[in-house]
Amino acid sequence: MKFLFPLLIILLSACGSTKQKQTDKEPHVVIKPETELVMPTKLPKPGPDQALITAKIIKILPITEDAKKGVCSQYPCKATVQILSVWDKGNSFRPTLTPEREISVHFEFSLNPTADLFPELEQALPGLREGDLFETILTGEKPKMVTPAERTPKSDSLLFIYKAYSYNRL
């Protein structure tokens, strides 16, 4: 009988701590910045290797020599962007994105307006300039080393290649 009371206390405390751990876990965490942003509604839910973000263009990177052909040989396609919010991401999206982090993004159809460049696009993209806010679905690909042009104080030396195929300028 004298062992029953301590055993009961141990069992109750163990059950309570297990229950607390389960409530601490959230199935999906949405990271929001201090400024109030509205979750994008015009973009589809991201796929397994994608993330839905809101970001700001910090710097448009110059055209590089490795862009030998295509639209990126004539117009800028890469920019350093600051993440403002990560709204959703797929379960295979490996890079960790947090507000205030700066990343390099390759815009497949350039940062220029696309109405004349790609008349076959269903919806022309308006183009982006430094300081513009936008929302997009990023695709994260295999990491590569950062070039000096892509390096910022808030970036890592090993960089995931992020691609954006479409966006909405805010």
Tell me if 143 is assigned to some domain.
Answer: yes
* Residue that has been written with the tokens 């993004």 in this structure: 105
The per-residue pLDDT for 90 is 87
* Residue that has been written with the tokens 């295999």 in this structure: 142
Tell me if 108 is assigned to some domain.
Answer: yes
Tell me if 8 is assigned to some domain.
Answer: no
Q: Is the dihedral of CA 65, 143, 79, 89 positive or negative?
A: positive
Cβ neighbour number for residue 159 with a 10 Å cutoff: 17
The per-residue pLDDT for 151 is 63
Tell me if 73 is assigned to some domain.
Answer: yes
Q: Considering only CA atoms, which of 157, 44, 51 is closest in space to residue 96? A: 51
**Number of separate domains in the chain:** 1
Tell me if 24 is assigned to some domain.
Answer: no
Per-residue pLDDT of the chain (170 residues), as tens digits, is 555 555 545 555 555 444 333 333 333 344 444 456 666 667 778 888 899 999 999 999 988 766 667 888 899 999 999 999 999 988 888 767 888 888 889 999 999 999 999 999 888 999 999 999 999 999 987 666 666 666 666 555 455 678 999 999 99
The per-residue pLDDT for 161 is 76
Tell me if 57 is assigned to some domain.
Answer: yes
Tell me if 10 is assigned to some domain.
Answer: no
Tell me if 6 is assigned to some domain.
Answer: no
The per-residue pLDDT for 31 is 45
Range of the domain at 157: 29-169
